[in-house]
Amino acid sequence: MRWVIRDSNILARAISHVNSCWQEANTSGKPLEVICQPENIKRSSAANRYYWDVLRQISEQATDHETGRHRYSPEVWHEYMKRQFIGVIDLPGGGGMAESSASLTVQEFSDFTKGVESYAASELGVVFVAKEAA
């Protein structure tokens, strides 16, 4: 059972439920595992759309220094930015892949997006244009 505790009434019900489960587990000689952690709220679809708009603008404006042409898709920039700002997982046999952004908290994803924007503006010369509200 999963409880999101927002008030003392929910807390009381959760404690009662855990106590009941513990008594049943204790009677059968099995331990009970209880995990408490902050609620993991997923980022909004608006935040995701905003991030991909940032990547689209990077893709449209960032150029290959050797050829002067636009070269990379938003998906490639996504992989690059994850490697830069989130990290890399070593693969068997060598090489690595970017860690996923899906596991970031709302605040971590916001910080990640800001980092991507800052890097793109300062290092790639991207000038961001805000989307107009529909």
pLDDT (tens digit per residue) in 50-60 = 999 999 999 99
Query: How many residues are given for the chain?
Result: 134
**Residue-wise pLDDT tens digits, 89-104:** 999 999 999 999 998 8
CA contacts within 13 A on the Cβ side of 130: 3
- Mean pLDDT throughout 63-75? 79
Residue ranges of domains in the chain, CATH in brackets:
1-39 (no CATH), 45-124 (1.10.3790.10)
- Structure-model confidence comparison of residues 68 and 120, the more confident one: 120
- DSSP H or E run through 96: strand 96-98
Q: What is the dihedral of CA 43, 47, 53, 55, to 10 degrees?
A: -40
CA distance 22 to 112: 41
Q: Please say whether the beta carbons of 25 and 31 come within 8 A.
A: yes
Listed in sequence order, the DSSP H helices in the chain are 8-27, 45-61, 74-85, 106-124
**Model pLDDT, residue 132:** 53
Output the pLDDT for position 49.
95
Question: In which band, very low, low, confident or very high, does the pLDDT at 120 lie, cut at 50, 70 and 90?
Answer: very high
pLDDT of residue 133: 47
